Structure 1
């Protein structure tokens, strides 16, 4: 199999404004790298916290959760009770969760987020959007960019955590 270039070097995404492509490129790159990193990762190690850092499960849940929350804010929605409940559960041991389930959940949230991004009118990127109960100021573009950079940040933390656990040793 020929190795592809990084997502941002694969060209434009059909139907997506060039102004929004960096957001989707960044998230798709994180998605690919997460799948490669978590391939064959033992589910029983999802809750390990080497040196007290956040567990791998937290990062997978948190990346998905941040995208969900930023998409809601970008659409001028307040968070639902379901979203608050999911936020409270990020990183809490849930024995029924497996690596496969967490990756499926992440992929589903990424697909949902990308659908929302493709529907955003680029002329609204500078529009104000209140964030959280305190209604802190952001913009549509700021929220979308935050979802992408936050996914990259947690990918980096996940990479280090998985390496510290040593569960992905390759021959």
Structure 2
């Protein structure tokens, strides 16, 4: 009989969550998150369709850019718990500033990719129209090609900017 390694993993997960919940239960509390994780782990260890559902939802939840946002939020929550209130608010604002920087960089990258995306969509539409026209029995329309512009060498720059970095304008 083949061993079910995924079931053993989920059983270990349930055991670890149960052990994490034990001190809270002994103290008279009700640790909801560890007990929930233990129950989900036991369900996934014993029932394959539940395991498939949970893994599919986990992949869906933590796929793509969501994981980056989740890590930032979890980091901010951890910082808030270990620091005094004033410093925690300061650090949370610092994390939000990092999120704003990531958003700005993402927007800049999107703007840089926009012409390429627009050209790709235009080529896709043009090729689709050409295929439809060929399917209808029409002849393809010949287009005149434009000659590529010739590049001229740059004139030598003045001696003042010889040591400047090529990306110096990014900080202006």
What TM-score results when the alignment is normalised by the length of structure 1? Answer: 0.28
What TM-score results when the alignment is normalised by the length of structure 2? Answer: 0.28
Q: Which has the higher strand share?
A: 1
Between 1 and 2, higher relative CO (CA 8 Å, sep ≥ 6) is seen in: 1
Q: Pick the structure with greater CA Rg.
A: 2
